[in-house]
Chains A and B, each alone.
Chain A
């Protein structure tokens, strides 16, 4: 049923660098490519505000190359390799502006990611020793004969491996690099970091859980329960921190922490509905968060305003950007028919149908609370932007709307938010079918 992978390099008899284009990988790569093109166009215009553009674009493209390798990786070894390389190639994007703050944020990003990848490596060591095949196979590859008596050991390893890759996805307790890295990185870099690279962590987690250890091996164990608890905690914590944060890009970064854990929550429930909802949320959140970061980029580019308190009355200067921002906000909060609603619906359905008490009930409740918090940290920006109040008098100079190319990209993403929301059905169907093949 699965194609034989293309083996590029044989490192040892059982350790190879091999590639295969399966549906999941292709879907992820499609998303990455589209985002890379959109943000790339945006970055071409945005670069007027920065130095060392050659370096930026070199590493921008290198990171995409690594994502390509990651998507098509046919085994854990290959995936680990490209995951690590992706980290290394994306570090210069974070430290781009060369300030002391950017340098320390980049180090934080690097070391969190390497620590995470090292935990992931434990998974590779054990999977390799306890599996029938080093390939990614739906349903997992564990060798029942070899693991007999070592189940708990393997579950512990799975737990740490997923927590490790979770560092990239902003999973508590390894989330702290996100709010540090995003504000200092150039906005296009923040957009792909948040929109796509965090999803690379998610992608690796899917591979580890569903294609290596196998959902059945983990279902209804302490590992699954702990994962769900951590994901719920991350969702709440991210939303709360975002709600309290005053700097716009940091707020969006905390929002990412929270939203990517929606995805992880869906994956941890280990059933088809939640899995499909999670994948749909990967797509939706990628579009929404790219849109939000690029909107923030527009604002920074034109006004250099970083704090949400300063954005009053911005609707008059930048009506298009702020309108798009409003659409993204509606989507991220989960208001139909925008993108963002359907995925959360599916996530909640999946949670409820899992029968995993108390999380089957707790998860939808947390999703609701987090949605309210999301509204709480995004809507005021839009409301104060458009309706600053009678007493408001603009203080700064009217710098006008951002350049056409930049507004254009943001507009396209806003349009995508609407279209993907309205026509979410077929996409969900696609992901449900995919879930069917992965969960067997």
Chain B
């Protein structure tokens, strides 16, 4: 396809979203048809772009001679793009049912649809500036979604979100400038600086990497910039599920992968203090997230902490700086996306039906919402790493990468991942056990008419449960595909 289809795919949902409040749909049905058409059209366009990627980058705006807004479709972008393209229509379907009883749906779907374009923009950025720009836009556009309910908690969470991301953006921006001034190129090149022979100053470059790592890492919720994520759970569940389990947080992971392999280069970072610092924070975050999730009783907050932990699995894999590590990290990015969105959708369906938000209240719900909890059980087993579901496979690749690399940090990470797996089992299986095996004579709490949600919610849930199994069985070809997609980043 021609390169100009990339900006079209990116700006179609942005424009489509902006138009929603202008048109001002009064009937839910027409709005749903409109939103779904825009989302599906975007997904088809982006799928087409990924199947037949255009040659080279296409520049949309040149700001200065060296800085321009440019897009391209490469292997790494495709890995992220596939995830987004697949999940967005399903999440939109779910959102239709979830939002049925909420107010200001035109505004909600306007922002919800716009974020699709921005996320694609991140996936298809051809240089640091473009990626930075779209990351910032994503922050701004998702903010109204967090404060959508207009409660005090929502505003507090919104302010927190903004503070973390503005601070992150500042750090990333300073990092980019330092990088650029000290010999770094803004365009993404496989192998990054390692590919060139430029005269580079390692000390300052290392600092610029760390600034960008934590700057973009705010989105990936690396400790100490993780706290916005559990708070952001006040948003409606479609937002929490799609944006804060997939799009926004994985943009952060994706950005880190980009700058590690396409700006700096594995060879440049290998064995440096910078790598060790970054790995240490990732390893700590893995444990921190898992333990906090275990201590948390609020359903969505528990899942949010779990996301924090799992995002750092990916960052750990990426920063091992071996081909196997990168593949494992990206594989976990795909698989975790599916598993976590399924878990959040269940939490949303349960909250929708029963009005309950704490996991301790869900005793006996396995009977009331059998299909929903069947999906939850599948996704839980997968996330805790029961073979051969997809969560096991990505952990398998991560562990193999860590064992193959060896060294203290790799082994520490492996141990952290395994400890986190035990905590994952605890914080998820306790929910399953309570749901299916309530104490004798226990009457479930919440709405008595709580039952499985409607089709709009069940279809995505069913598909995710199926995906958890199929992706596990076909993880190998998928991993091989990722391996070939990112081939060339190691020199």
Binding site for B on A (CB under 8 A): 9-13, 15, 17, 77, 80-81, 84-85, 88, 91-92, 95, 97-100, 103, 106-107, 110-111, 114-115, 118-119, 121-122, 125-126, 128-129
Contact = CB atoms under 8 A, between A and B. Distances in A.
B421 interface: yes
Nearest to B399: A125
B15 interface: no
Instruction: Give 5 nearest A-B pairs by CB, closest first.
Output: A98-B440, A12-B476, A125-B399, A81-B387, A129-B403
B465 to A, nearest CB: 17
Given A81-B388, A118-B421, A103 B475 contact: no
Contacts of A103: 433, 437, 439
Interface string B433-459: 100011110000000000000000000
Contacts of B440: 97-99
Given A97-B440, A99-B440, A106-B433, A126 B403 contact: yes
A119 B418 CA distance: 8
Contacts of A115: 422
27 contacts: A11-B387, A11-B388, A12-B479, A17-B388, A84-B386, A84-B387, A91-B433, A98-B437, A98-B439, A98-B440, A103-B433, A103-B439, A106-B437, A107-B430, A107-B433, A111-B422, A114-B429, A118-B421, A118-B422, A119-B418, A121-B399, A121-B421, A125-B402, A125-B403, A125-B414, A129-B400, A129-B403
B386 A85 contact: yes
A421 B402 CA distance: 50
Contacts of B399: 121, 125
Contacts of A17: 388
Given A12-B396, A129-B400, 20 more contacts: A9-B388, A11-B387, A12-B475, A12-B479, A13-B476, A81-B387, A88-B381, A88-B386, A95-B433, A98-B438, A98-B440, A103-B433, A106-B433, A114-B422, A114-B426, A118-B422, A121-B418, A122-B414, A125-B399, A125-B400
A129 B404 contact: yes
Contacts of B386: 81, 84-85, 88
A128 B324 CA distance: 15
Given A11-B473, A77-B387, A85-B386, A128 B400 contact: yes
A95 B437 contact: yes
A118 B418 contact: yes
B476 A110 contact: no
B425 interface: yes
A128 B399 CA distance: 10
B311 to A, nearest CB: 21
Interface in B251-291: none
Contacts of B476: 10-13, 15
A12 B399 CA distance: 14
Contacts of A121: 385, 399, 418, 421
Interface in B385-437: 385-388, 393, 396, 399-400, 402-404, 414, 418-419, 421-422, 425-426, 429-430, 433, 437
Contacts of A88: 381, 386
A114 B425 contact: yes
Q: How large is the interface on B (under 10, 10 to 19, 20 to 34, 35 or more residues)?
A: 20 to 34
A324 B393 CA distance: 50
Most buried by A among B381, B396, B402: B396
B484 to A, nearest CB: 15
Contacts of A13: 476
A12 to B, nearest CB: 4
A122 B396 CA distance: 10
A114 B393 CA distance: 17
Name the residue in A12, A95, A99, A110 with the highest tally of chain B Cβ atoms < 10 Å from its Cβ.
Answer: A12
Contacts of B438: 98
B387 A80 contact: yes
A110 B404 CA distance: 31
Nearest to A114: B425
B429 A110 contact: yes
B422 A100 contact: no
Contacts of A12: 393, 396, 475-476, 479
A15 B433 contact: no
Contacts of B437: 92, 95, 98, 103, 106
Nearest to B440: A98
Contacts of B422: 111, 114-115, 118
Contact of A100 (B387, B439, B479): B439
B393 A11 contact: yes
Nearest to A127: B403
A177 B396 CA distance: 28
A99 B439 contact: yes
Nearest to A13: B476
Contacts of B439: 98-100, 103
Given A98-B439, A107-B433, A122 B388 contact: no
Nearest to B429: A110
B421 to A, nearest CB: 6
A202 B385 CA distance: 23
Contacts of A80: 387
Contacts of A84: 386-387
Nearest to A82: B387
A121 B426 CA distance: 17
Nearest to B475: A11
B475 A122 contact: no
Contacts of A118: 418-419, 421-422
A97 B429 CA distance: 19
Contacts of A92: 437
A122 B418 contact: yes
Nearest to A91: B433
Interface string B362-402: 00000000000000000001001111100001001001101
Contacts of A122: 414, 418
Contacts of A106: 433, 437
A421 B475 CA distance: 51
Contacts of B384: 114
Contacts of A85: 386
Which of B418, B419, B475, B479 has most A Cβ within 10 Å?
B418
